[in-house]
Amino acid sequence: MAYLDHNATSPLRPEGRAAMERALEIAGNPSSIHAAGRAARGALDRARAQVSALVGAPAGQVIFTGGGTEANALALRGAVEGAAASGERITRLFVSAIEHDSVLATAQALAEQTPGLRLQSVHVDKNGVADVATIRAMLREGKGRALIALMAANNETGVVQPVADAAALARESGALLFVDAVQAFGKSAMDFTADYISLSAHKIGGPQGVGALIVNDAAPLAPQMLGGGQEHGLRAGTQNVAGIAGFGAVAAACVPLDSTLRDRFEEELKRIVPGVTIFGEDAARLPNTSNFALPHIAAETSLIALDLDGVMVSSGAACSSGKVKPSHVLEAMGVSDDLAGCALRVSFGWNSTQADVDAAIAALRRLVARAPAREAA
């Protein structure tokens, strides 16, 4: 079997499993002051240091959450509510058109629920890169404090976004910047600063359901979970000690990926499918991601055929209420619905090998060879 869906979830790294097994032996609640509690607290402190080191932020800025989706919601809702509470209301929310659904849906809901908050979309070019000039113009045109949401790299295409430029604009204009770094974290350099940065453990070989929000000390943040004073009072609830320990261990173990396997895969892909379209190919991309369309073969057909052939990939299309809806990311890049409906994503990770590339290419070759018969039928 070839598992080539690391952007969906990356299998648990042995270092993560070992750290989780050790942490599961700790009986205490990290908020308790007795020895068992202190042992649990020690596991959290270690993980906080390990995660923050990979981002280059102080450990005290890490708030552990129940995953990337929660970290995104905490950033957006926490910023808007926190700013309102301190009298510095956010009135404009700029969100790139290619954000993950957890950001798009939360931003939409926030704008509907918050009087005086205007949501504006930042478009992307045909390579899937957000337009910095649009952000600059939007910042100049309107009045009131702005919050910009721009992901570090897109989950479907792997296209890296101009986050450092957005950070410079935010600094100049007093806007806040939120970066969903769930896909970039641990895969490529994090050479930017932001007020809020969201992370998720399972995209780098850690456990699912664990994430973090890194928050600049000066940035407003209203907690969304109230009760105990955990996570500096910003996310109440007893922490998932084992999961967080696993997150820390994989953050410490992970090394940035290189693009060798992805590049070989695309080279072979172009040989066997001369008309293949590779989305975002001309832009800087994460080293592990390839998003492409096999012309005239619907993504679901390809996914099923590849799966039966032992190769696990994903499609950009989301299936809701029985209807397959083309990816909003490809749509924002101006890709036609027909082509977007044929899009597949291959994503490599820490345990990928050349054998995976070979298996994927062999399976794709068989799929393409069978395609005309299927089309005719």
Listed in sequence order, the residues at least 6 apart from 296 whose beta carbon sits closer than 8 Å to its beta carbon are 342, 371, 375
Q: 10 Å Cβ neighbour count for 239?
A: 24
Q: For residues 86 and 108, which CB has a smaller minimum distance to ligand PLP in the complex?
A: 108
Q: Report in angstroms how near the CB of residue 70 gets to ligand PLP at its nearest.
A: 7
| Residues 336 and 271: beta-carbon distance below 8 Å | no
Quick note: the x/- pattern for ligand PLP over 39-68, rule CB under 6 A, is: ----------------------------xx
Among 13, 46, 77, 100, binds ligand PLP (CB under 6 A): 100
Residue closer to ligand PLP (CB basis): 61 or 69 = 69
Sign of the alpha-carbon dihedral angle for 45, 50, 56, 61: negative
- Cα–Cα separations (whole angstroms), residue 53 to 206, 252, 332: 16, 8, 34
Site for ligand PLP in 265-304 (CB under 6 A): none
Sign of CA dihedral 205, 206, 211, 215: negative
Residue 140 CB, shortest distance to ligand PLP, in Å, is 28
Our CB check for ligand PLP shows the closer of 200 and 259 to be 200
Contact between 46 and 186 (Cβ < 8 Å)? no
Nearer to ligand PLP, 72 or 290 (CB): 72
Q: How far is CA 167 from CA 174, 302, 357, in A?
A: 10, 40, 37
Nearer to ligand PLP, 93 or 368 (CB): 93
Q: How many residues bind ligand PLP (CB under 6 A)?
A: 14
Among 28, 211, 243, 326, which residue interacts with ligand PLP (rule: CB under 6 A)? 211
In this chain, which of 102, 114, 288, 314 binds ligand PLP, going by CB under 6 A?
A: 102
- Order of all β-strands in the sheet with 211-215: 62-65, 211-215, 196-200, 176-180, 145-149, 90-96, 118-122
Site string for ligand PLP, 158-187 (x = CB under 6 A): ----------------------x-xx----
Q: Which residue is nearest to ligand PLP (CB)?
A: 68
Residue 62 CA: distances (Å) to CA of 51, 52, 53, 143, 169: 8, 7, 10, 31, 24
Which entry of 36, 85, 319, 369 is annotated as an active-site residue?
Answer: 319
* CB of 202 vs ligand PLP, minimal distance in Å: 6
Name residues contacting ligand PLP, limited to 106-165 (CB under 6 A).
Answer: 151, 155
* Inter-residue contact 190 to 362 (CB < 8 Å): no
Nearer to ligand PLP, 72 or 259 (CB): 72
Question: Which residue from 285, 323, 34, 312 is spatially nearest to 155, judged by alpha carbons?
Answer: 285
In the complex, minimum distance from the CB of residue 377 to ligand PLP, in angstroms, rounded to a whole number = 35
Reply yes or no on whether 319 is catalytic.
yes
Task: Establish if 239 lies at the interface with ligand PLP (CB under 6 A).
Answer: no
Nearest to 147 by CA among 198, 78, 200: 78
Smallest gap from residue 164 Cβ to ligand PLP (A): 18
**Which of 291, 260, 296 has the alpha carbon at shortest distance from 277?**
291
Sequence-distant (6+) residues with CB within 8 A of 109 are: none
Active centre residues (catalytic): 319
What are the residues binding ligand PLP (CB under 6 A)? 67-69, 72, 100, 102, 151, 155, 180, 182-183, 200, 202, 211
